[in-house]
Amino acid sequence: MRTAEFGKAVRRWRDQVSPESAGLPAGGHRRAAGLRREELALLAGISVDYVTRLEQGRATNPSEQVVEALARALRLSADERVHLFRLAGLVPPGPDTVPAHITPSVQRLLDRLTGTPVAVSDAAWTLIVANPPYAALMGDPTGQRGFERNGVWRNMVGPGSRVRHTAEERREFEATMVADLRTAAARYPADQRLRQLIAELCAKSARFAELWDSGAVGHHVAARKTIDHPRVGTLTLDCDVLTVAGSDLRIIVYTAEPGTEDAERLALLTVLGTQALVG
């Protein structure tokens, strides 16, 4: 019964969200004013088939990540999001866990920055959402799952990123990431997933374990970053990190100085998106 109610709720909210409010073009003939299943799937980063099965009650036990993505795509309020979690049989994230809910106002901000690489991470540097220019610049994150979406894990254990560092810059970058994660751990001591992340990092990265044992506390700061891109070459961009008061969300924005070759390459990437160059 709960599975059926979850599907009905998703369908009802999908019918109430206009394409314009979701940052999508309205174009074309529509039988209804709300979002199409294809559009909801695109916004949530899941397959159309899965959306269909969820709405029809044929898919059971959606994960916390899927429910969070649907709540974000449907522009649900805080109370509506909690209700959707409960319909899925999940415990809504409490006040002592790292917030991952993107508020409608932050979502509107993202909708307006369509030509700028922008991503949103939580306080533990786990990626929540990235717009197409960000995916084109830093690599498409849609296939990443679990710890793969965490920036500290990717840089300390995983494949890293396209950002180029000198040896000294690398050491400083790692130290600030770990210090920032320690601050988040102190702020959200009851977050089980954050504790699991830290245990995984300590077990698999001697460098992380060393830095963690040092007890340093701090914050990762914005900086100019040099990015080695496989299609357009090297770009040097300003990376600003904005923190949303009350939720600890991190909005990561990349921009280039106007009139420079970096700006031209960034504009080219925005046009190309994540599609491969055709020679």
Confidence of residue 150 (pLDDT cuts 50, 70, 90): very high
Each domain of the chain, given as residue ranges in start order, spans 2-87, 104-272
Tens-place pLDDT, residues 217-236: 777 766 899 999 999 999 99
List the CATH code of the domain at 104-272.
3.30.450.180
Tens-place pLDDT, residues 46-55: 889 999 999 9
pLDDT of residue 278: 39
Tens-place pLDDT, residues 260-271: 999 999 999 988
Q: What percent of the chain has pLDDT over 70?
A: 93
pLDDT of residue 149: 93
> What's the length of the chain?
279
Averaged pLDDT, 10-25: 84
Q: Which two tokens stand for residue 173?
A: 């970058």
Mean pLDDT over each residue of the chain, to the nearest integer: 88
pTM of the model: 0.78
Tens-place pLDDT, residues 125-146: 999 989 889 999 999 888 888 8
Averaged pLDDT, 94-108: 83
Averaged pLDDT, 246-256: 92
| 237, 225 Cβ separation under 8 angstroms | yes
pLDDT of residue 277: 38
Helix spans in the chain (H): 2-16, 37-44, 48-55, 64-73, 78-87, 104-112, 132-138, 151-156, 167-187, 192-204, 206-214, 261-272
What CA–CA distance (Å, rounded) separates 258 from 255? 9
The answer as to CATH 1.10.260.40 being correct for domain 2-87 is yes
Averaged pLDDT, 225-249: 92
| Of residues 59, 45, 145, the one with CA closest to residue 102 | 45
| For residue 275, pLDDT beyond 80 | no
Tens-place pLDDT, residues 70-80: 998 898 888 89
| For residue 29, pLDDT beyond 70 | no
Top-confidence range, 17-26, 93-102, 136-145: 136-145
Tens-place pLDDT, residues 164-217: 999 999 999 999 999 999 999 999 998 999 999 999 999 999 999 999 999 877
